Structure 1
Amino acid sequence: MVGAVACVAPPLAVVGFAQWRGAKRRQLRSDLVEGLVPLMGIGVEVRCSRWAKREYIHPRPGRIEVRYAAASRDWDPKWMQQLTATVEARVGVDYKVEKHQSARKRVYLIPDISEEEITDDSPRAALAYKADVVIRELLGKESSATYSWGEDDSLSSIQVEFPNEIAVKLVSRMKRQSVERVVTGTLPGRWRSSWDIENSTANFRLRTEFPAAVPHPKINVTDENRYLIPSAVTEDGDTVFWDLRSTDPHGLTTGRTGTGKTVVLLGTCMEFAGRNWAVWVADPKRVEFLGIRKWPNVQVVATTVEDQIAMIWDAFELMEHRYRLIETAGADEDDFEPLLVLADEYTEFRSAVNAWWSENKHKGAPSKCPIFNAVGSLARLARKARIHLRFGMQRPDAELLSGEVRDNLGDRHSLGRLSPQGAQMMWEAAYIGTSVPRKIPGRGTATGPDGQPAEAQAYWTPDPRKVARSRKAGDIEILEGLYPTSTTHKRFTYEIEDEDSPTWLDDNDKPTLYTPWAAITQARRVPSPDADQHLTLDELLDDLSSAREAAAGETSAPAPEPREDRHLQLVREDEEPDDYGLVQTVCADRLRPGDLIDVDGDWVVVEEAVADPDEEGMISIAWRSDDDDAGELALTADDMLEVRRMTEESD
């Protein structure tokens, strides 16, 4: 279903500088009329135009047209002198007669200034004027701005000081983001802001270019970063961390096929394993984490619904055990080693569990599988037990992202572009992440170092299964830097007994009350048949060494041919679906972030559409392409455009 047109007005300014400026100009016209009535009669009219730029407190028109009554003494030289003297007294600037049309009873006046005093009309001055208007519109008429310029006279940064009474209104993050969005929508380029509310200052600067890919750096654990799990970098070059000791002990990663979600989750698993901590994975697709099944310290990759339920229940039981140790044995939270419990494709997992429960629910059982209660308990309580949940899903899920579970998934990372509905669920703002370029894998929005959402480029973490086939030197080197220094956790599987097992027979070998759910809750860990076999990089590292030698000219040996092992054939992923609806016609003042519009034959996404504070009736539109190109459009409010919007079902 195509999303309905949002009938909302263009964004309003924080203060209303344009209205204040207009009032000052109207007041000047009224003053001129009042001063000229004794000379020209009650019917006198004054029209002002060509207003001087950057003169707000005392506005100065570049041209004044005076229309007067036929009975006026316009033939008297003193009459004209009185006219110019009155205008000069009211405006505060000397004026001279440009032309006098006696027959039409009109006089045109212009400022009497020298060539040196003529206002600078260069492109830089015009841009500075527009920036002045925007800043005063947003942050108050008494705000002041200092500009920095690039070599090509492009505006690169704006340092602003604003009144204290405005600072109070900017305490809200939403207000500050609104200001940033309007600046992006009205000035050339894409802008971001930093704020010092205490000192009533702000800095706006052009966004820097992102790298197309960021290789996952080598693990180098120190006391300072042991509990900081890195996953991406922001446009400022800051590392995005999942802080396991913060109030956000659990996390959520979303992304459609091809956006890089699995790559990010693989990196998270390897970061935990590289710290010699245990990793448990639920893999409903069965092949997404095939490449790390034998990675050291990855203890279990559960692929059947029964094993996945058993794994979640096992984590719940471990949490209960650790709580008992704290309560009765004097243990401390720091005595426990962190455990990663990763539930990928959680929406698929939930559907599979519901189907399994409908077939295996026993008499008197609740309508909903109890494993979901265990998930809720883990989300609320597992932090103290050093058990950390990470959910993966293709789209933000309304059922998961509601209530207590959502509140405990504080560390979030959305890969790719979100719909306004998905952005609202994920980031509690319908515009965040809606303009992420679609053709750059790994680009998305993540919880930044300051706890606020920030655009980020995820680390590239290669899948060992695919590297074994491709033998790319760069990928081998990345895996070498992530490989654990030791194996401290051996692999296991779950043994789930059937109803004929002795466990379910009484002393007379008669069946007791067996249920599939009871069997899962009694599942035992047993060592995997290949528990002592681990994926090694020796063969891959030999390839890397050969590649390095060849690059240095030390050997003429050809690079190894890719292996054709059948079990290493790549699973081809479908192309990313187009989640946008049919073309509809929308007027410019009804555009919203996330809409697709046609620019020169290409569909680009609207990053912001705002009323231009300097040009009444105009809408400034900032857009962004799938390749991360950006540009601006200026349209009248009633211009009609062809628009495509994300369907509501897309998230």
Structure 2
Amino acid sequence: MATRVAQRPPARPTAPAAVSLGVLPRRQLTGIIPALLCIAFATAVTGLNAVRPFTDLVPVVWIVAVALAVGAIASGVRAFQRQGRMDPAIEAVLPHLGAAQPTRALVEPVKWTKGWVGLPARIKIRYASHVVDDDPRFVDQIIAGLTRRLGAEYRVRKHNSRRCVLIVELAPASDPVSREQQRAIEVVKQVIDPTASVSVTSAEDASVSKIEVKHNVGPKMAIAARRSQIEKVVSSMLPGRWRAHWDLEGDKIRFEVRPTMPDMVLHEVEPAAALTHSAYKSFRIPIGPDEDGQIQSWHPAVSPHCLVIGGTGSGKTSFQHTVLTHLTHAHWRVWVLDGKRIEFAGFRDWPNVELVGARVEHQVRMLHAAHELMEERYSQLENGTARLEDFDPLALIIDEYATFKARVQRWYKTVKPKGAPAQAPVLDLLSDLARLARSAKIHILLGLQRPDVEFLGGEMRDNFGARVSFGRLSPQGANMMWDSFAVGVAIPRNKRGRGITLNAESLPVEIQAFYTPDPAKLDSSDKADWDHLAALRPATADYERMMVRDPEPELTDDGEGEEVEPDYFQWSTAEIVEWDPAAASKTQPGTLRPANVTPLDPRERVRFVPDVDDEAPDVDAAADGDGYSESLEGPAVELEVGDLLLVDATLGLWGVVEGVEPDVVDDEYLAIEYRDIDSGEDGLLTVFDNSVISYRRPEAA
């Protein structure tokens, strides 16, 4: 019976292991014998000429003979010294060439650089036919040996594997590496891969601006947390703020200095085309550029409503002005509910701003009118008398809704008729509009001072898919707004218009919102702002300015004929007519008083109580630990994202924790990524995992 012998599959070709061959034979100094022959020739000519004169050129013969002798000796000495320079390199390379014994014949310099000795500029290398020369390490080992022993960089010029010949040459001289470049190379190799290939690019001021890395640790880089930590480590160990672009398939990384975000970017518009349904579906409202210069925008056809949050001086109102001017320039119909009554005063006569509600009565009528328009369009769609493309889009800008709500509740008590609901019906309309208005081409921009669970919880939050926050958030507000206790809580204090929004991947990114000046706050000296507004102003109005006509008081039917002020339902159904300056001047805000207010006659010792401000004072997210618990102490491993960490006890510096991961260099350490609560700058703190630290935890909302 035949026996089957299992054959092992051929192993992967590998370069031969280095074999010690001993030292090369002793060098020989050439040129002496040729020099002696030249002197002997001159001596012989001189002797013969003395016995039998035949020439007068004996001195010339001696000059030539001495010159040749000196040349021969010099050439021999030079060759001897060059051989001395080559021998260490030959001995380093021979073990990889399959040589049976040490010999200089396999490594032959065929060209030298200028100078008395110089460097071999080109070297011809022959190797044995049994050497596996398709292993990349074969050439690398030869190049490394030559570079190490000759003190210069070499590269492959030609490799003829059929003839077993390798020709290498000096690599072109590279630019000198500065101290900053060397530091960058060392940091990247230590953090990522000691064998990585690193190239550094410098800016005009000689600072490092870009680092490109080719590494061999792809599986480690596949972990997102590790990539984030490496980016933080590089940013903390090198000057400036750095970010990384990862090529996981090619095992490449590109680090570059984060660009500086501008402090102000003007809102500019391009000539607007006709507002067709196709244009409506692709229409975007620019919010502002992120740190990459990418313009983040609100796409109403995809995210029908936008929620904007920001305290006083954060840039929220300017952003709403940007939205208004962009919409009107694109032929949109715009209604404005001015919660503070004065923030949109400069845009009341702006083309395509059809209606501005400053008084609470007019604001209530506006929301009822928007709801009626929505119901009317739904009926037309249901009956088949209209299609969605037949409707013009309407943008409803609601500024300071919390203030509006508080005022409505007080006002409703003065106009509530008998048998009416306990709460003003208008307060139930916003949720209906947020849920249903999209299908009627009605879109809402809702402005708030601070996050509120009423607008950021449950269904309402889902309906406001587009969101922007300006200024600092409390950790609770950040969690409601962005599902993170850390996002937006460390926005720089003095950056008006700086905020957070969602990018195309629905990830929070920092932006600098476009700036639009307020016409009501400009004077004659602000020529640049007036010119800017002139460029934003639509040339023609597609929609005429409208106003709410105040209902007339009714007379009682008890025979006394007393006037009764309009009740809630009369205001909610008041007529909306074309703008009439004369009629509007009769009912300016503040000229009417609620029906239940009785004027006081002058009398002594009357103490007036200041009106209660509807708006709660803005609170700094980090001042005195607001939004955070009292200071706690515990091991570093207990830290969580969103905690407020005491980074430097001496200086009293605190930072918002953005990540906690094992250190990439030493597993016994933790790398804590944080953002400085005052400056907003990123930082990295490395501590033992059992180190006791001070921190504050976000309080429950």
TM-score by length of 2: 0.58
Letter in 2 for 1:228: R
- Contact 1:435 1:606 survives alignment (8 Å): yes
Structure 2 counterparts to residues 254-273 of structure 1, below 5 A:
254-273=309-328
**Any stretches of 5+ residues in structure 2 without a counterpart?**
1-144, 150-178, 585-614, 626-630
Structure 2 counterparts to residues 186-265 of structure 1, below 5 A:
186-188=233-235, 190=241, 192=243, 206-222=257-273, 227-246=283-302, 248-265=303-320
- Contact 1:253 1:413 survives alignment (8 Å): yes
Distance 1:323 1:448 in 2: 32
Structure 2 counterparts to residues 296-445 of structure 1, below 5 A:
296-445=351-500
- Deviation for aligned residue 1:496: 4.2
Aligned match for 1:522, one of 544, 563, 573: 573
Deviations 1:278-301, CA, capped at 9 Å, x for gaps: 211111211111111121221222
Letter in 1 for 2:268: P
Structure 2 counterparts to residues 27-106 of structure 1, below 5 A:
none
DSSP-derived class of the 1:400 partner = helix
Match of 2:546 in 1: 492
Match of 1:582 in 2: 624
Aligned residues: 473
Distance 1:320 1:274 in 2: 27
The answer on 1:595 being equivalent to 2:640 is no
- Contact 2:547 2:579 survives alignment (8 Å): yes
> CA 1:518–1:200 in structure 2 vs 1: closer, same or farther (change >3 Å)?
farther
Deviations 1:589-611, CA, capped at 9 Å, x for gaps: 23744737566847564363534
Match of 1:128 in 2: 188
Distance 1:574 1:397 in 2: 12
Deviations 1:515-561, CA, capped at 9 Å, x for gaps: 8332133111022323999xxxxxxxxxxxxxxxxxxxxxxxxxxxx
DSSP-derived class of the 1:465 partner = helix
- Contact 1:232 1:457 survives alignment (8 Å): yes
> CA 1:607–1:500 in structure 2 vs 1: closer, same or farther (change >3 Å)?
same
- Contact 2:351 2:541 survives alignment (8 Å): yes
Distance 2:659 2:371 in 1: 48
- Contact 1:440 1:627 survives alignment (8 Å): no
> CA 1:225–1:594 in structure 2 vs 1: closer, same or farther (change >3 Å)?
farther
Distance 1:358 1:194 in 2: 59
Structure 2 counterparts to residues 435-474 of structure 1, below 5 A:
435-467=490-522, 469=523, 471-474=525-528
Letter in 2 for 1:483: R
Distance 2:393 2:541 in 1: 15
> CA 1:298–1:419 in structure 2 vs 1: closer, same or farther (change >3 Å)?
same
Distance 1:332 1:642 in 2: 62
Q: Please tell me the root mean square deviation across aligned C-alpha atoms, in Å.
A: 4.3
- Contact 2:640 2:657 survives alignment (8 Å): no
> CA 1:579–1:130 in structure 2 vs 1: closer, same or farther (change >3 Å)?
same
- Deviation for aligned residue 1:635: 4.0
- Deviation for aligned residue 1:345: 0.8
Distance 2:187 2:227 in 1: 17
Letter in 2 for 1:188: S
- Contact 2:212 2:253 survives alignment (8 Å): no
DSSP-derived class of the 2:513 partner = strand
DSSP-derived class of the 1:188 partner = helix
> CA 1:330–1:148 in structure 2 vs 1: closer, same or farther (change >3 Å)?
farther
Match of 1:481 in 2: 535
Distance 1:160 1:369 in 2: 66
> CA 1:495–1:130 in structure 2 vs 1: closer, same or farther (change >3 Å)?
farther
Letter in 2 for 1:384: S
Distance 2:620 2:551 in 1: 45
Letter in 1 for 2:233: T
- Deviation for aligned residue 1:304: 2.0
> CA 1:305–1:596 in structure 2 vs 1: closer, same or farther (change >3 Å)?
farther
Match of 1:617 in 2: 669
The answer on 1:182 being equivalent to 2:229 is yes
> CA 1:214–1:636 in structure 2 vs 1: closer, same or farther (change >3 Å)?
same
Distance 2:254 2:146 in 1: 37
Deviations 1:70-92, CA, capped at 9 Å, x for gaps: xxxxxxxxxxxxxxxxxxxxxxx
> CA 1:626–1:263 in structure 2 vs 1: closer, same or farther (change >3 Å)?
farther
- Contact 1:362 1:515 survives alignment (8 Å): no
Distance 2:246 2:368 in 1: 46
TM-score by length of 1: 0.63
- Deviation for aligned residue 1:462: 0.6
Letter in 2 for 1:239: I
Structure 2 counterparts to residues 15-26 of structure 1, below 5 A:
none
- Deviation for aligned residue 1:249: 0.7
Letter in 2 for 1:480: A
- Contact 2:357 2:366 survives alignment (8 Å): yes
- Contact 2:635 2:691 survives alignment (8 Å): yes
> CA 1:443–1:585 in structure 2 vs 1: closer, same or farther (change >3 Å)?
same
Distance 1:263 1:495 in 2: 29
State the percentage of identical aligned residues: 31
Deviations 1:484-518, CA, capped at 9 Å, x for gaps: 111222222223426617xx999x9999x998332
Whichever of the two has the greater Rg, that structure is 2
- Contact 2:188 2:234 survives alignment (8 Å): no
- Deviation for aligned residue 1:461: 0.6
Match of 2:108 in 1: none
Distance 1:527 1:461 in 2: 28
Deviations 1:91-131, CA, capped at 9 Å, x for gaps: xxxxxxxxxxxxxxxxxxxxxx99969xxx96345412443
Distance 1:527 1:345 in 2: 26
> CA 1:166–1:617 in structure 2 vs 1: closer, same or farther (change >3 Å)?
closer
Structure 2 counterparts to residues 494-509 of structure 1, below 5 A:
494-497=548-551, 500=554
Match of 1:53 in 2: none
Distance 1:591 1:305 in 2: 45
Distance 2:260 2:407 in 1: 42
> CA 1:405–1:466 in structure 2 vs 1: closer, same or farther (change >3 Å)?
same
Deviations 1:338-360, CA, capped at 9 Å, x for gaps: 11111111122222223334554
Match of 2:113 in 1: none
- Deviation for aligned residue 1:270: 0.9
DSSP-derived class of the 1:342 partner = strand
DSSP-derived class of the 1:211 partner = coil
- Contact 1:622 1:632 survives alignment (8 Å): yes
> CA 1:386–1:146 in structure 2 vs 1: closer, same or farther (change >3 Å)?
farther
> CA 1:360–1:608 in structure 2 vs 1: closer, same or farther (change >3 Å)?
same
